[in-house]
Structure formats: C-alpha cells, structure tokens
C-alpha cells in the first residue's frame, strides 16, 4: 500500500474554527418572506433560490423559507436542483433556463422537476420527449429569455401543459413607463395561454401594486435583505451578518506603507490589524479605502487595498483589540452598495464558499 492509499484510508481530523464567519438570520429571512407575501395581496409569494440562495446557502435558507410558507422555488441551472430537492418536493422547484439539451429533458423527467420553457426549440424538445407539466416564459421586453407573443400560437406552445405562465420586469426598481407596457403585454398574452397560474413580479415588482401581482410573485433579492425600491425601506430586514477575526496586530512607523502598491502610508506611528477577509470571500477590492469594519460601535477604517484573503484596518480607536478578536463587516445591503458602488445583487452573490461553509 503506497502513501497515497494510506492517506486516503486515514480519516481527516476536524478543521479548527475558522477566522471568518457568515451568520444567516433565519428569523429575519422568514419575516422578509412573510412581508413580501403580505404585500403580494391575493397572490402567493414564491422564492427565487438560485445562486445558492443569492450566496447565503440553500441548506440555510430553503428550510426557513418553506417553513415560513413559500410553496414554489426557482433556480437558474439544472445543477442547482439537487441541493433544493434535499428540502423541497420536486414539483415545487422550477428551472428558469429550461431544457437546453436532451440530457436536460431526461434529468427533468427523472427528477420530476418542471422546466421553464423559453423558446420554440425548448418546447419541441419537451413535447417530443413526452413532456408533461412545465412552465412558460414570455418575453415582454427584457429580451433575455422567453417566447415572443407572436409565438404563442405555435403548435409546440399550444401543446404544452403549462402550470405557471410568467414574464419578467426589466425596470421594476424604477418608476418607468416600461413597467406598465410590460404588464399590459403580459395581461394581453395571458388570454392566449392555458395555464394554471400567472406570474410577473420580482421583488421590486411587488411594490408596483396589485395590477402586477397576478397569481404568484417571485421575490429574490428582498428575501435576503436587499431593498430594490423605497417602499421596502425599514421593512426588509438584514439577513446576512459577516464577521472576521484579527489575525495579526502590528505598529506602523511614520513613512511605512500597507498592502499592494503601497496605497496607504502612515504619517505617524499607528496600530493596525490584519483581518481574515478578502475578495475570495466576496469582499471585493471596491470595498476597500473609504470603507470600514466595526468593533462594537467603533469604526475601524480600512487601509490600503483589499487582497485575496486579508484586509488591514486602523486600530487606533480600539487599543484593547488583539489577535483573535472578531470584527463586524457592515453588510446592510443598501448602505454597503452605496459605499462600495457594487450592486446589492453582487454583494450577496459573490459571498465566497469559504464563508458559506463555516
């Protein structure tokens, strides 16, 4: 037996505690879904759980959403299905990108997870395989995925067994005339399709009012703490809470610099801390100078550039801090997006797997 075989047969010891962590506030997540469901009026709110629940983890979020009352879950890729099926019955999951190949169709039929049909070719592929219940996306102006209104009379579309007939708003986070144009186009097309349910609104669309709700809304961003419109301010709660530990403390002398490209230089002696957080964890370089971490209520400015696994903070106002102390990463999404010029969607979905697996 060689060394590699011996190693593989030996159990790996449990890893020591991490020096950064992500906490999902389950109560806030459930409260956000309930608020969005209530705002949806007579429509029911589903839940977009694609991109590993927008970066917060399917295993952490889907059970909470299901317990809160969500009955329909939406992912983008077939590769995302298995993780959701650990918690949800197959017929309650939908794959937004639809069946791109015969392999996708076989997987859908074997798992009993209905696809969202986005084109005539997908409709034909689904029908030829025996099909069954599916969903249908109509493009009303966003020009991403979906059949056109003129294609609704095609025999391949008419042959579908459509559960949810849906479209997607392009400008719901703005007071744009396009919102009503899309709503009117969807309402007109709905009379041409035999479907059990109709769905148009994403998170922001829910705030546009009852005309946009139909039978089901499909919130995503707002579930996880995002605030896409002013109507949600003060009502949607922060879900993701990030913390990182100080892993080294040192004193800079006047004239010494910090980090890549020596972007920060100390004018006087100062106490600094290196913190276990970087863009491999979703803390992007755009989150660097001008931003801060927190020690309780004490603001600790970031110094120099964010690097792969570390940032450096000014500890001058927190002389009691030391190695191993935990710092809070400000992650109220509207504020963090404004400070970093990174969108709320990006801030969530780029959270690295190292944090999700802590």
- Separation of alpha carbons 327 and 276, rounded Å: 10
Q: Which residue of the set 224, 260, 305, 345 is catalytic?
A: 260
Catalytic residue check, 305 = no
Computed on alpha carbons and rounded to an integer, the radius of gyration of the chain in Å comes to: 24
- Can you tell me which residue has the tokens 């709320």? 344
What does the alpha-carbon distance between residue 64 and residue 312 come to, in Å, rounded to a whole number? Answer: 35
Distance CA 204, CA 241 (A): 23
180 tagged catalytic: no
Both structure tokens of 349: 């979905």
With CA atoms as reference, report the closest residue to 327 among 317, 337, 335. Answer: 317
Interior CA angle at 210 toward 204 and 212, to 5°?
A: 55
Beta strand segments in 209-343, E: 216-217, 240-252, 257-258, 264-265, 270-275, 292-295, 298-303, 311-314, 326-329
Specify whether the CB–CB gap between 94 and 164 falls below 8 A.
yes
Q: Active site residue: 50, 279, 295, 345, which one?
A: 50
Q: List Cβ neighbours of 55 (8 Å cut-off, separation of 6 or more).
A: 224, 240, 282, 348, 349, 350, 351, 356
- Residues 239, 29 contacting (CB under 8 angstroms): yes
Dihedral angle of Cα 277, 283, 289, 295, to the nearest 10 degrees: -50
Helical residues (DSSP H) of 139-263, grouped into ranges:
155-158, 177-190, 203-206
CB 285 within 8 A of CB 306: yes
* Active-site amino acid positions: 50, 260
């Amino acid at each position: 037996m060689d060394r590699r075989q011996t190693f593989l047969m030996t159990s790996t010891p449990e890893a020591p505690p991490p020096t950064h962590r992500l906490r999902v506030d389950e109560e806030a997540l459930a409260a956000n879904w309930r608020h969005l469901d209530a705002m949806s009026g007579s429509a029911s709110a589903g839940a977009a759980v694609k991109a590993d629940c927008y970066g917060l983890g399917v295993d952490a979020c889907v059970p909470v959403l299901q317990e809160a009352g969500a009955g329909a879950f939406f992912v983008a890729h077939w590769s995302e299905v298995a993780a959701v099926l650990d918690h949800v019955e197959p017929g309650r999951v939908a794959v937004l990108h639809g069946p791109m190949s015969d392999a996708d169709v076989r997987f859908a039929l074997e798992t009993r997870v209905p696809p969202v049909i986005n084109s005539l070719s997908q409709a034909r592929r689904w029908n030829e395989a025996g099909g069954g219940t599916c969903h249908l996306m109509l493009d009303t102006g966003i020009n991403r995925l979906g059949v056109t209104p003129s294609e609704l009379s095609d025999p391949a579309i008419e042959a579908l067994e459509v559960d949810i007939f849906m479209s997607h708003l392009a400008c719901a986070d703005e007071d744009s005339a396009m919102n009503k144009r899309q709503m009117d186009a969807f309402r007109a097309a709905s009379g041409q399709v035999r479907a059990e349910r109709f769905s148009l609104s994403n998170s922001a669309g829910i705030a546009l009012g009852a005309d946009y709700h139909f039978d089901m809304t499909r919130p995503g961003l707002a579930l996880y703490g995002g605030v896409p419109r002013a109507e949600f301010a003060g009502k949607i709660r922060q879900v993701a809470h990030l913390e990182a530990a100080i892993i080294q403390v040192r004193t800079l002398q006047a004239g010494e610099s910090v980090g890549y490209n020596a972007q920060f230089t100390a004018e006087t002696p100062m106490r600094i801390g290196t913190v276990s957080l970087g863009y491999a964890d979703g803390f992007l370089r755009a989150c660097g100078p001008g931003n801060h971490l927190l020690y309780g209520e004490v603001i600790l400015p970031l110094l120099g550039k964010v690097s792969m696994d570390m940032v450096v903070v000014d500890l001058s106002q927190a002389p009691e801090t030391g190695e191993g102390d935990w710092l809070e990463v400000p992650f109220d999404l509207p504020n963090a997006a404004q400070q970093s010029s990174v969108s709320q969607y990006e801030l969530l979905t780029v959270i690295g797997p190292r944090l999700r697996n802590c």
